Amino acid sequence: MRVRRSTILIAGAMAAACATAAPNVRTPIGALLTPEAKTGPQVALRFDPNAKVIRSNASNLPPASFSTAQAARGEKIYDETCGTCHQPGQLVGQTFVESWNDRRVWDFYSLVRATMPLDKPGGMKDQEYLDVVAYLLQANHAPHGADSLRVDTTAMRATKISVHFP
């Protein structure tokens, strides 16, 4: 009788230990849509012809200052990191100038920092993001200066991107 009780106690203790040690493993939630998936009826998009988009304009601000050394560091980072996804010239030229000229440096910097690199947004050092911004300004013919861009939100909000297409 003693063997049975001890065997039962040992077996119960082992079962309890195994139950608490087993990880809670679940299959991940996925969103795999097949052609047969029921996604609901299509809804027509509504268009408001009176809607207006206001784009910030910082034309009254002084242009941002960056050094050529900072832009050179940024070019290297861009080639190694950004260039793996962005086509050569994708962020250089008329489209960039039309989108970003006379806008605050902070707006561009914060967008790049929050969304890039795509596989790890915010994964680079602040100085690396600033160097990439300096490179893109130089590549789009912004005049360089004696000072470098620095991690100072007040200064970046007080300067503009001043680029042009040749």
Give pLDDT tens digits for 92-149. 999 899 989 999 999 999 999 999 998 889 999 999 999 999 999 999 999 989 899 9
What was the pLDDT predicted at 104? Answer: 94
The stretch 15-23 carries a mean pLDDT of 54
pLDDT in tens, 59-74: 899 999 999 999 999 9
51 CB neighbour count, 10 Å cutoff: 6
What was the pLDDT predicted at 87? Answer: 85
Nearest of 76, 78, 69, 66 to residue 134 by alpha carbon: 66
State the amino acid at position 44 in one-letter form.
A
Q: Domain locations in the chain?
A: 68-157
0.95 cut: is pTM over it? no
Bridge partners, residue 160, by sequence: 63, 104
Averaged pLDDT score across all residues of the chain? 82
What was the pLDDT predicted at 69? Answer: 96
Q: How many angstroms separate the Cα of 58 from the Cα of each of 61, 64, 94, 159, 161?
A: 6, 11, 19, 8, 8
In contact, 104 and 59? CB cutoff 8 Å: no
Higher pLDDT among residues 2 and 141, named by residue: 141
Phi, psi of 55 (to 5 degrees): -100, 135
DSSP letter for each residue of 44-112: PPP--TT--------TTSPBP---HHHHHHHHHHHHHTGGGTSPTTTTSSHHHHHHHTTSBHHHHHHHH
CATH class, 68-157 region: mainly alpha
Residue 31 has pLDDT above 50, yes or no: no
What was the pLDDT predicted at 28? Answer: 47
State the amino acid at position 104 in one-letter form.
R
The stretch 154-159 carries a mean pLDDT of 93
